[in-house]
Each structure stands twice: as structure tokens, then as C-alpha cells.
Copies of this chain bind each other. A is one copy, B any other.
Amino acid sequence: MYDTMNPDNSTQTIRILTTGGTIEKSYCESDGTLMNRASTIREGIIQSLRLPYTELELESVLNKDSLEMDDADRDKIAQAIAACGDAQPIVVLHGTDTMSVTAEYCHARLGQPGVAVVFTGAMKPMGFIDSDARQNVTEALLAAKLLPPGFYIAFHNRVFAVPGVRKNLDTGTFEAC
């Protein structure tokens, strides 16, 4: 276990980098579109979680559907991860379609990180009643505290090391590969 448990009751910081993706798509009532606009994670999920010992620092890196991301975008994400330093674990919100591509890109570019970098997202935008966003974010925040340094994807009650994971389009979840 990486985390040194129970030493005291001070607050631990987790950095959240948002890049868009299904998890953060929001609905516009005037034109009926469901798109990545601004980051909605704070009011959509974080405000209703109980995090007495966790301080979250949010940074919006991109607001893109991950199918539209290119290497320039992935480079921007890798740079944002690198700029975080090694002081706190990192959660990256990302579209599921190319989440493993970006995670592998960051792994190839940055090598072994000094902290846990946990990617997550959702199959259904966080605004829906039956979205999996809240579950995945809850899991990613805990995984970020418990896991040793490395790149991971946390999704649907499972943590995958990167590389070694891909989205399964048929089942709508991630799988080891």
C-alpha cells in the first residue's frame, strides 16, 4: 500500500484535470445539443460528495469529445500532468473512446510518474439520473489515494494499470488487454 494510513487527520490534496468527454457533456435547452462546454464536475458531482479530509484542485485543460482529440491535445494533457509535480495524486476526467490512447500517450511521453495518475470518465453524462459518472469519480478519487505511482484507469469498480487496458465498445466498459 502506497498510502500511509491513519498518520493524522490533515487534509490530502488531489488534483483533478478535466479534458471534456461524455462525463462532462451538458445539455443546452435553447438548441437541444449535448456537448462539452465548460467543466461541470464541481457542481455536478463534487459538491455532493463528502470529502472532509480531501482538498480538490480543479484545472480545466480541454473541453473536447475524446474522439476529436489529436496528439496536440494529448500533449497538452501530458504537459498539464507534468506541471502538477509530485506533491499530490492526480485524477484526469476524459472521454472513454480514446481514454486508453491518451493514458498510454502520457505514459510513453512522461514515463513512470511520481504519483498515481488515475483516468476516469463515464458512459453517460453526469447530468443524467442513471449516469455512471458519480460512481467512477468516487472510485477514481479513492484510487488516487490508495494506488502507488503509475498511470491507471478506474472505471466501474475496477482499476486497470496502463498500458494494458482498452474500451470494449460492445459491453460499454473497459477491459484488460
Contact B1–A147 (Cβ < 8 Å): yes
**Least CB distance, A156 to chain B, in whole angstroms:** 4
A22 within 8 A of B: yes
Chain A interface residues toward B at CB < 8 A: 1-3, 5-9, 22, 25, 27, 29-30, 32, 34, 48-54, 65, 123-125, 127-130, 132, 134-135, 138-139, 141-143, 145-148, 154, 156-161, 164-165, 169, 171-173, 175-176
Contact A29–B124 (Cβ < 8 Å): yes
Copies in the complex: 4
Query: Across the interface, which residues of B come within 8 angstroms of A53, CB to CB?
Result: 156-158, 173
**Least CB distance, A52 to chain B, in whole angstroms:** 5
Give complex CA distance A173, B29 in Å: 11
CB-defined A-B contacts under 8 Å, sample of 21? A1-B1, A1-B2, A1-B147, A3-B159, A5-B176, A6-B176, A29-B124, A30-B169, A34-B34, A48-B130, A52-B171, A53-B173, A54-B158, A127-B128, A129-B129, A134-B134, A139-B139, A139-B142, A141-B157, A142-B143, A142-B159
